Amino acid sequence: MARSRSSGGRGGRPDARSTRGGAGAVRIKTAKGRGTSSANWLKRQLRDPYVLAAQRQGLRSRAAYKLMELDDRFHFLKPGARVVDLGAAPGGWSLVAAERVRATASDGKAGRVVAIDLEEMAPIAGVAILHLDFLADDAPARLRAALGGSADVVLSDMAAPATGHTRIDHLRIMALLEAALDFALDVLAPGGAFIGKVLRGGAERELLDMLRHNFAEVRHVKPPASRKESAEIYVVALGFRKSAATG
């Protein structure tokens, strides 16, 4: 399995050397037929140290660093834990989770990771892939069967396709996160953790109240790998109270 940690250790920021100027710099021309916004996006990608580091380390996306940074701070991906990654494709978070819970260990203490997505994704060592809609009635039962029990961690880095309208994009991602939380409340074991992506915009207050009711500790964090100009933050909810969810 490809390594899912930066060259600086368990966490840390990737080295940004050779991403600006010099003989190795990459220049982007706005080709005929390519919009300026597309050219700007490509230019940003080629200069992004997280993108470059992910390519060097064989990671599937720069988003992998966000999960590393969150786990480095809150330590929810413990060896032996059972993890579900919702909307997992292309698998960046699943790859990190599999390494950190030791999903390929042969000492009888291996964790388990289940990736759920309607999209196809390439296999990952130690990860079971379920091609299904997590909103389906049978999804919780199928997950428990694949995990061998309830989940210790539910991850959601899902985002709806952007419309360009800030309010609409905010409401759509909040609807996704609320659905992910409902699923988590069904499948989490007592003491479990829920980590999900939010776009700031006002509608997140009600969801944060729900999280505080069901979890002992709730934090909202912007990891260093999240672009400064992005409105995204992550909620980290720890210490699931099963009785609160069922009461």
Catalytic residue among 197, 222, 228, 242: 197
Tell me the one-letter amino acid at 239: G
Question: Rg (Cα) of the chain, in Å, rounded?
Answer: 19
Mark out the alpha helices in the chain (DSSP H runs): 36-47, 49-57, 63-74, 92-100, 139-147, 166-187, 204-214, 242-246
List the one residue out of 26, 63, 47 whose CA is nearest residue 230: 63
Short-list 121, 100, 123, 122, CA closest to 111: 100
CA angle in degrees (0–180, nearest 5) for 123-189-128? 10
Instruction: Specify whether 197 is catalytic.
Output: yes
The residues assigned a catalytic role are 197
